[in-house]
Amino acid sequence: MNERPLPPVTQLGMVSLALIVAGGIYLSAHLPRHVPLGPAIALLAASAVLLAANMVALSRVRDFAWDRFVEVGKWSLLAYAVIAGMIEYAFLRDHIRGGALVVLTLSLVVFAVHVPILVGFTVARYAGTDDRVAA
Amino acid sequence: MADTAISAPAVHPEPAQPAPLERPDFEIVPRRGLVLVAVAAVLLIVAIASNKLWPLMFLHVAGGAAWTVIDLFLGLVLGPIIGRMSIPARVEFTTRLMPKMVLIMPTVVTLTLAAGWQLGLKLGTVFSFHPLHPWVVASYIVVGVMAVLALGLLEPANIAVLIELKKPRPNPEVIERLMRRFIYCAGVLGAMQIATLVIMTKLASG
């Protein structure tokens, strides 16, 4: 199997997800007390930067199976949008408001976008040469 | 049920074309199973909306038991067995197991976590003043590590294996590589589940 040089999308994605999870744990571990949002915002910002870096790195890959990536990624995005929507509903139902709600909502957005990218990337990187389209 | 041919591994190129292997046809996401998933989701919504102890406890314990047992069994028992199977046997096993895992794991994880969070709110264990709160935070960390592994490595590998197997001539080397990732991840998750068992039994016994 010929390995093509590809950006570390999976590794960056896992670090990004870990930062989101750490932010969620930080916020939930302090309930019901008021919690300073600084660390959670910093973790979210770092995670979002990694997401952006992953998207940029991926967009520069040539000879990549973009059809496969989009085909798998769009269904995965739908599934994770539903999951993120359900979690958001739970936040609202639990009366989370203000800055914490904004941080958690944006964290869900990063989560719901990054996981489909990881799924689409993993499928597309192993696609046959017939599936690959020059970028 | 239609069968599709799959080539034997091509690690060392052979002059002769390897004999095709048989693999059963399958759905990547079994549509009939979606009905059971929908039923589980409705039960979860009803349990959370009613906010009664028994339904929440039932879904959390039943979902958590299923999650733990599947991870432990897959990671520590089935994983090593799959690793020693012949390629055709592994392909056939994978074809039958993985589509079910696509539905089972997200469902039991969602039941466990959502019912568990609601249960924690009801019992007060998620609040920082509760005496057992450090154990709850420890469970967040264990679940967080498992979530990153499952979402970042396990699920993409699972979907990629199934899509590879759907091709007219799947590449066994790709399948083997992805299955290795799947099995290693399942092993780590199995080990993490032992930590979950320690934490949950401590929380249950007070």
Question: Is A96's pLDDT higher than 50?
Answer: yes
- Report pLDDT digits (tens) over A40-77: 999 999 999 999 999 999 999 888 899 999 999 999 99
Closest CA in chain B for residue A25? B140
Only one residue has tokens 């199934």, namely: B162
- Report pLDDT digits (tens) over B3-38: 444 444 444 454 455 555 566 778 888 889 999 999
Residues B111-120, mean pLDDT to the nearest whole number: 91
Distance from CA of A121 to the nearest CA of B (A): 8
Cα–Cα distance measured from residue B73 to residue B167, given in angstroms and rounded to the nearest whole number: 29
Q: Is A29 helix (H, G, I), strand (E, B) or coil?
A: helix
* DSSP output for B89-115: HHHHHHHHHHHHHHHHHHHHHHHHHHH
Residue count of chain A: 135
How high is the pLDDT of residue B181? 84
How high is the pLDDT of residue B8? 46
How high is the pLDDT of residue B19? 55
Q: Is A121 on the interface with B (CB under 8 A)?
A: yes
Mean model confidence pLDDT for chain B: 84
Residues B111-139, mean pLDDT to the nearest whole number: 91
For chain B, what are the domain ranges? 29-205
Range with the poorest average pLDDT among B17-21, B30-34, B93-97, B103-107: B17-21
Q: Which long-range contacts (CB under 8 A, 24 or more apart) does B8-12 make?
A: B8/B87, B8/B172, B9/B87, B9/B172, B9/B173, B9/B176, B10/B171, B10/B172, B10/B173, B11/B173
How high is the pLDDT of residue B10? 46
Question: Is B1's pLDDT higher than 50?
Answer: no
Q: Is A25 on the interface with B (CB under 8 A)?
A: yes
Q: Is A128 on the interface with B (CB under 8 A)?
A: yes
What predicted TM-score, i.e. pTM, was given to this entire model? Answer: 0.83
Q: Is the dihedral of CA A2, B148, A46, A116 positive or negative?
A: positive
Closest CA in chain B for residue A14? B152
Cα–Cα distance measured from residue B188 to residue B105, given in angstroms and rounded to the nearest whole number: 16
Name the range with the highest mean pLDDT among A27-31, A106-110, B31-35, B153-157. A106-110
Cα–Cα distance measured from residue B39 to residue B45, given in angstroms and rounded to the nearest whole number: 10
Mean model confidence pLDDT for chain A: 88
Question: Is B169's pLDDT higher than 50?
Answer: yes
Cα–Cα distance measured from residue B145 to residue B150, given in angstroms and rounded to the nearest whole number: 9
Of all residues in chain B, what percent carry a pLDDT higher than 90?
A: 34
Question: Is A110's pLDDT higher than 90?
Answer: yes
